Amino acid sequence: MADLSKRERMAMERTPTPMRDPQERSASFDEVNLGYTSALAVLEASRCLNCKRPVCVEGCPVGVRIDEFVALVADGKFAEAASVVNVDNPIPAVCGRVCPQEAQCEGACVLNKKGRPIAIGHLERFVADRELERAEHQRVPRREPTGRSVAVVGSGPAGLACAGDLIRMGHEVTVFEALHELGGVLTYGIPAFRLPKPVVEAEIGHLEDLGVRFERDVLVGVSPTVEDLRHGEGFNAVFVGTGAGLPRFPGIEGEGLIGVYSANEFLTRINLMHANEPEARTPVYDLDGRSVVVIGGGNTALDAARAALRLGSAGVTLLYRRSRAEMPARTEEVVHAHEEGVNFRYLVAPLRFNGNDGWLDGVTIQQMALGPPDDQGRARPVPVEGATEDVACEVAIVAIGNRPNPILTKATPDIDTSSWGTIEIDAASGSTSIPGVFAGGDVATGGATVILALAAGRRAAASIDEWLQQGSPETADIGHCTSV
């Protein structure tokens, strides 16, 4: 493969990954994408042109040296490829599976002009999975202990990335997580058919091996507060990565009817409380033979729709108020949802939920058309007057976005927040209005992506390191305990 000419490389088709059969998988929570074998990974990597200016790297929010790791895969040097990836990405087995590559590295790849970008995500997943299978992580060296300690609030990608960098910088790190399981949305949001939980557990396990301490079931803002962590418990700095877990609703009639869920609740019940299993103590409404509508067009909506299919619903229809072109969900998820039988209806928005004796039995929808662009440049949906329709359904799952939960910020009056409830930060450093308190990820941006949360966590770790090295009076000689 190594001696292929540029012309030959450019003529090669993109190598597909093996997938579970759509019919079989739509009744199972097993992972859909089975990943490359070694031979397929080498074949795909050998298409790379090793560009002098690797624009794929510019498309990666954390700057993974894609050209280098892909060249190593092409040479069969998989462990070396993993060590290149690990320098910039602490959770590559996750990102290889869930990043919106088409809008990032693969979107930037020169071969994208021909519609055949290198399958960078699949290759990243391949090298990371191989390391997990071999139970050998290519470690980044750890600095000498500094005696400084940092509290990280939230164990999602932002918190994990921040904790991973800080522990390698020689600081003591304790992560406080409100839930009984770690991983944030990676654990309670994204279903196992896209992101198997052992993958997330293994990535967290590496951080534990490095010395990061995890305290579960600690809701910061109730007990302890951020102030307690800084001054009572004596942590020298605090990073807040509490995400955006508060679901938004459209504010229409009938939202209180039985059968109307937020996607957060629906997916959390499945992922965290195993509602899909027969003996579940916190089940979801029995979907067997019932018709479901899902409202939204992002990854969360797609996950909810595909999960509802797997729970035996008679049919799932996704209602999205813009057209396919504006849909924010990852392309692969949209393709998979189509293959599995989810119906898509574009340019429609819910007007009201209809009920009978307190139970949902339908939704009235409004036809929309695309109007002028909004402040993000996306065509704004506008109602088509008089064009409404009643759609029968027994379950409606709302996935139209999230805001940060206000528990922590309400208990931290000195922290500046926006009108959306997000924490105001300096984008370059992650610093907040409180000295020594940093933040990043969805809690600062609103619902975004895993890789952006990860990048924010890493930026904040670098700033915290700098802050700790300055040795301000506040950070000096304060002991701490972790039992809160």
Binding site for ligand SF4 (CB under 6 A): 48-51, 54-56, 66-67, 70, 109-111, 118, 120
Which of ligand SF4, ligand FAD, none lies near 484, with the C-beta cut-off 5 to 8 A by kind? none
Which lies closer to ligand FAD via its Cβ, residue 47 or residue 97? 97
Which residues fall within 8 angstroms of residue 325, CB to CB, at 6 or more apart?
none
Which of ligand FAD, ligand SF4, none lies near 236, with the C-beta cut-off 5 to 8 A by kind? none
Provide the edge-to-edge strand list for the sheet that holds 395-398.
260-262, 395-398, 291-295, 315-320, 343-346
Shortest reach from residue 358's CB to ligand FAD, in Å: 28
CB atoms closer than 10 angstroms to residue 88: 20
CA pair distance 337, 358, nearest whole angstrom: 31
Which of ligand FAD, ligand SF4, none lies near 66, with the C-beta cut-off 5 to 8 A by kind? ligand SF4
Shortest reach from residue 123's CB to ligand SF4, in Å: 9
Which residues fall within 8 angstroms of residue 350, CB to CB, at 6 or more apart?
250, 252, 295, 319, 363, 364, 365, 366, 396
Per-residue interface string for the shown chain with ligand FAD, residues 64-103, x marking contact by CB under 6 A: ----------------------------------xxx---
- Under 8 Å between Cβ of 169 and 161: no
Per-residue interface string for the shown chain with ligand FAD, residues 246-285, x marking contact by CB under 6 A: ---------------------x------------------
Per-residue interface string for the shown chain with ligand FAD, residues 155-174, x marking contact by CB under 6 A: xxxxx---------------
Site for ligand FAD in 413-472 (CB under 6 A): 441-443, 447-451, 453
Which lies closer to ligand FAD via its Cβ, residue 99 or residue 293? 99
Distance of CA 268 to the CA centre of its chain: 14
Residue with tokens 């088509």: 384
Assigned token pair, 119: 């399958």
CB atoms closer than 10 angstroms to residue 345: 15
Shortest reach from residue 14's CB to ligand SF4, in Å: 11
- Under 8 Å between Cβ of 73 and 67: no
185 touching ligand FAD, by CB under 6 A:
yes
Which residues fall within 8 angstroms of residue 452, CB to CB, at 6 or more apart?
61, 441, 445
Residues in contact with ligand FAD by the rule CB under 6 A = 98-100, 153-159, 176-179, 184-185, 189-190, 218-221, 241-243, 245, 267, 299-300, 303, 330, 405, 407-408, 441-443, 447-451, 453
